[in-house]
Structure 1
Amino acid sequence: MKIKSPSHEILYMPDGEAILKNIELAGRTCYKSEDKITPDSAAAFIRRITRSGHHSVIEHMNITVRFICDRGVSHELVRHRLAAYSQESTRYANYAHDKFGNEITVIRPFFWAEDSPAYQDWLSAMAHAEQIYLKLIREGASPQEARSVLPNSLKTEVVMTANLREWKHVLNLRCSRAAHPQIREIMLPLLADLHKRVPVVFEQEYEKYGNNETPAG
């Protein structure tokens, strides 16, 4: 059994300057103010419209992110409907095969210290789930049947594509202290990454949550 931490990877995101210029060009269509475009006008324009709540303009640009997380977190993630998803399927992924190392991979719950009784109980439960899953496969069960015993902590990969407005919405909900700690564990680093790449679009979220320590920290 492998144990790993969650992570994110930005698979597709245009250059920050290209994002701003495309948004400004689209947005100025509303006011027919294209003549006011200058080499450095985009950031100020986008800051004004986002601060005023005119977020429809930033829907013109998309970002694609790959998340590695546990199945429980993935169930929360895919509730955001204004997005496209592709997820690792336990119907077809046979973890008894060599390509998976003949073992399952689970996501470590950061909120339990590895020397705590709770972590040891979790570890025992994961090992038992793996043992029964592999036994079912050996006995002739298909992956989609054997997955019935797999835990919420099972590692999964989810590729998510959404426009900038939806990403802001997702980050506002999932970086909040009211969110589940394990989804904050992946969303706070993503917020920092996106803010670094295109700060003016995500500055409001970063002002609210950027100074928060990640739950794992």
Structure 2
Amino acid sequence: MTVQLVDHNLSDQAVVRAARVSTVGQTHQSPDEAADRETGLINYLMRERHGSPFEHGSLTLYVEAPIFVFREWQRHRIASYNEESARYRELRPAFYLPTVGRNLVQVGKPGSYRFEPGTAEQFSTVDTELVTAYETAYRSYERMLSAGIAREVARAALPVGIYSSMYVTMNPRGLMNFLSLRTHREDAAFVSHPQREIEVCADKAEAIFASLMPATHAAFEANGRVAP
């Protein structure tokens, strides 16, 4: 799965500038002067959940992942999405298979369960059944296209394990909301239990976020990973 930075105008200084305008109006601090004082203010804003200063700026990511990951990601509506369309282009035969180490067995009831590793036999079963299903579905898709069936009809044969691509754009506040729900951290104020595949994508997005806004990311972590 791929998560790549395409464009951004993010900075910790933008958060500080937005916050200070409410008390001192327009400021003309140099970046160095702002950097010297930003950490405490950003931590205060995060702790007290003054969220609007974190809405200034945005980043755009390019994502390649299985469609079932996109369906979970796009439930987060504090973002803008443009996804590859199977109405207008033929999808490539690229499909998801769990990697070794991905827990396979769900133990417990919904709302109170855990995942445990699968056996070698279970991994073999998953690989065999998914590959068989993918090959059968894609052959049906290709036969319909060859018969002149519209792509928007033929795509109904494709499973959610096929890969798609999209651009997603969000501001830092929306990104922190996404990360708080789609990453698992035992020390978080509200521990989330996301599906592993979307967590892999979220971890990659978080690494980008941390590199662009280190003070904001540090405050996010220090305050229980709660979006302001």
Q: TM-score, length-normalised on structure 1?
A: 0.80
* CA–CA distance in structure 1, aligned partners of residues 220 and 21 of structure 2: 26
Contact 2:17 2:27 in 1 (8 A): no
Q: Structure 1 pair 115/76, CA: closer, same or farther in 2 (3 Å)?
A: closer
- Residue 149 (1) aligns with residue 164 (2): no
The equivalent residue for 1:56 is: 52
Contact 1:8 1:66 in 2 (8 A): yes
Contact 1:192 1:206 in 2 (8 A): no
| Deviation (angstroms), 1:42 | 2.3
- Identity level (%): 21
Aligned residue among 165, 174, 178 for 2:182: 174
Task: State the Cα deviation string for residues 67-123 of structure 1 (Å, max 9, x = none).
Answer: 11111111111111121110001111124xxxxxxx522233333679622111111
What amino acid maps onto 1:170 in structure 2? Answer: F
Q: Structure 1 pair 32/182, CA: closer, same or farther in 2 (3 Å)?
A: same
**Across the two proteins, how many residue pairs are aligned to each other?**
194
Q: Structure 1 pair 128/35, CA: closer, same or farther in 2 (3 Å)?
A: closer
The equivalent residue for 1:12 is: 7
What amino acid maps onto 1:75 in structure 2? Answer: R
The equivalent residue for 2:22 is: 30
Aligned residue among 109, 123, 128 for 2:131: 123
The equivalent residue for 2:97 is: 108
Structure 2 gap segments, 5+ residues each: 105-119, 185-191
Q: Structure 1 pair 147/62, CA: closer, same or farther in 2 (3 Å)?
A: same
The equivalent residue for 1:82 is: 78
| Deviation (angstroms), 1:205 | 4.8
* CA–CA distance in structure 1, aligned partners of residues 66 and 84 of structure 2: 11
* CA–CA distance in structure 2, aligned partners of residues 34 and 104 of structure 1: 53
What amino acid maps onto 1:120 in structure 2? Answer: T
- Corresponding residue SS for 1:107: coil
Contact 1:132 1:149 in 2 (8 A): yes
* CA–CA distance in structure 2, aligned partners of residues 206 and 71 of structure 1: 29
* CA–CA distance in structure 2, aligned partners of residues 35 and 60 of structure 1: 16
| Deviation (angstroms), 1:145 | 0.8
Task: State the Cα deviation string for residues 149-206 of structure 1 (Å, max 9, x = none).
Answer: 0010111112111111010000100113511111111111221231133222122555
* CA–CA distance in structure 2, aligned partners of residues 201 and 160 of structure 1: 20
Contact 1:9 1:66 in 2 (8 A): yes
Contact 1:13 1:62 in 2 (8 A): yes
